[in-house]
Amino acid sequence: MTETASAVEIASAVRAGTVRAVDVVAEALERIERADPVLCAFTEVWAEEALRRAEEVDALVGAGPPRSPGPGGGGGSGGRVRLPLAGVPVAVKGRHGMRAAAPLLAAGGVAVGATAVPGPGTAWQTWGLGARGRTVNPWRADRTPGGSSAGAAVAVAAGLVPLATGGDGAGSVRIPAAWCGVLGLKATNGRLPSRDGTGLAAPGVLARTAADAAAWWRAVSPPATGTGTPYDPTAGLPYDPATGMPCGPAVGTPPSFPRTAVWSPDLGFARPEPEPVALARAAVDRLVDAGVVRLVRPQAPPLLLDPAAAWLALRAPGTDPAGLADAHRVRAENDRRLARLFAGAELLLTPAAPTAPHGHEGPGDVYSTALTWAFNVSGHPALSLPAGFGTDGCPAGLQLVAPHGREALLLTVAGAAERPSGRKGRGAGDRKG
């Protein structure tokens, strides 16, 4: 399989027996060995473990006869195993991320290594530190890839792996996704298990296609919402992962478009640079022209209170009662404003980051999290979608925010956004030369 093969394509080929998982994983390990001395995307590479696990996947696939794929991307009732991610190389955000990756491994994925995050003494906003040095943006080595899921975004963008796990506490999945030109999804806070005790962080994924992100969501989704209502993680997702074809609530049923959306360049408080705003707005216009979204006028402008002080107070240990009270006041007011917005629209659209990727010396006085951390405080699911390239040659992202629990909506729209051009998202690994 090539470095541009998607997770869906790999798993389908492994299940069909046209390729072996061990060969797919060996090729991924070769790509990592060749590219990582420059990219520094990995802190650890688990070659022996990965090849051993790939052999196990091949044995499981060979244990049953070929069968028709089921709606979850695994087999139908005639087979003995369901491996919707059979043989897919997966990069994990640090050794501690193995617990979050467990559902992917149970689905047949193969963990090939731990990706770079900020190291000791490194500014927390945007850096990663790999085993060989600082993590670099695959589009320009003199620029940061964003963070904290820096290595994960780089590994996917450079074609080293098709899927990488991440954690998003302030934009740590969405910002590197935007700056590396891939898709990054943050789940609704509290919907999936998280090691973060503050409630601000949520698991996420970095992928090159909406279908791959949907396959991740199917694998990790809880069986129920916790409200007593059965939850079907396949409902409303953009593709049947076995075929890569669009699907709606039932496989073969087209999703309903356009979806209503509100655009905000700054959420009422951020100070984004003109170019990321222009690129994001151009991406919105393309979605409108393609019939994917329809912009609507909200009852009130999407003006949120700046969540910076609230986020910092909630995050910091030992915040005094007055500081916590102020944080909860900001959170409650923003929750009220977002509830009003989502009563009249399905999506909120913003730039994913307020600036282009900065150099390794630092971000200056603008928080790279300015447009993302509001939704860690509020808990809404959010997704960064590639929006094009700036004059510096680096990617930019469009952020989609949905009501709580509407990850399927985000993935549906992301899938539809890929279809007008008829191709997968372009990654740094696609470049020639």
Residues 6+ apart with CB under 8 A from 391: 275
pLDDT value at position 98?
84
- The confidence band for 428, taking pLDDT boundaries of 50, 70 and 90, is confident
Half-sphere exposure of 322 (CA within 13 A, CB side): 0
Q: Which of 183, 93, 175, 172 is nearest to 410 (CA)?
A: 183
Distance CA 92, CA 50 (A): 12
Domain contains 1: no
pLDDT per position as a tens digit, 59-104? 999 986 544 343 333 333 333 457 999 999 999 987 777 888 999 9
What number is the average pLDDT over the span 215-240?
60
Lowest mean pLDDT among 179-188, 256-265, 294-303, 403-412: 294-303
**Taking the CB of residue 187, how many other CB atoms lie within 10 A of it?**
25
| CA distance to 97, 141, 297, 353, 402, per residue, from 350 (Å) | 29, 27, 15, 9, 12
Contact 145, 357 (CB under 8 A): yes
Distance CA 33, CA 266 (A): 41
Distance CA 117, CA 132 (A): 13
Q: How many helices (H) and strands (E) does the chain have?
A: 12, 15
**Taking the CB of residue 349, how many other CB atoms lie within 10 A of it?**
24
pLDDT value at 233 more than 60: no
pLDDT value at position 433?
41
Distance CA 52, CA 61 (A): 15
pLDDT value at position 340?
96
Distance CA 358, CA 426 (A): 21
What number is the average pLDDT over the span 211-237?
66
What number is the average pLDDT over the span 157-177?
97
pLDDT per position as a tens digit, 310-352? 999 999 988 999 999 999 999 999 999 999 999 999 999 999 9
- The confidence band for 234, taking pLDDT boundaries of 50, 70 and 90, is very low
Q: How many domains does the chain have?
A: 1
What number is the average pLDDT over the span 183-209?
95
What number is the average pLDDT over the span 149-175?
97
Distance CA 29, CA 108 (A): 17
- The confidence band for 54, taking pLDDT boundaries of 50, 70 and 90, is very high
pLDDT value at position 122?
59
Of how many residues is the chain composed? 433
Distance CA 23, CA 164 (A): 19
pLDDT value at position 418?
92
- The confidence band for 135, taking pLDDT boundaries of 50, 70 and 90, is very high
Distance CA 297, CA 289 (A): 17
What number is the average pLDDT over the span 417-422?
68
Q: Which domain holds residue 251?
A: 7-430
pLDDT value at position 27?
98
pLDDT per position as a tens digit, 203-222? 999 999 999 999 999 999 97
pLDDT value at position 78?
36
What number is the average pLDDT over the span 240-255?
48
- In the structure encoding, which two tokens stand for residue 376, read together? 């860690």
pLDDT value at 255 more than 50: yes
Domain contains 292: yes
Sign of the dihedral defined by the CA atoms of residues 159, 370, 277, 419, in that order: positive
pLDDT value at position 69?
40
Domain contains 2: no
* Mean of the per-residue pLDDT values of the chain: 87
Element spanning 211, H or E: helix 210-220
Domain contains 347: yes
Q: What's 190's domain CATH number?
A: 3.90.1300.10
pLDDT value at position 244?
45
Task: Give me the phi and psi of 84, to 5 degrees please.
Answer: -65, -20
pLDDT value at 298 more than 70: yes
The distance from CA 122 to its chain's CA centroid, rounded to whole angstroms, is 23
Which 3 state secondary structure label does DSSP give 276?
Answer: helix
Which 3 state secondary structure label does DSSP give 56?
Answer: helix
Distance CA 83, CA 25 (A): 16
- In the structure encoding, which two tokens stand for residue 191, read together? 């919907």
Tell me the pairing of strands 259-263 and 347-351: parallel
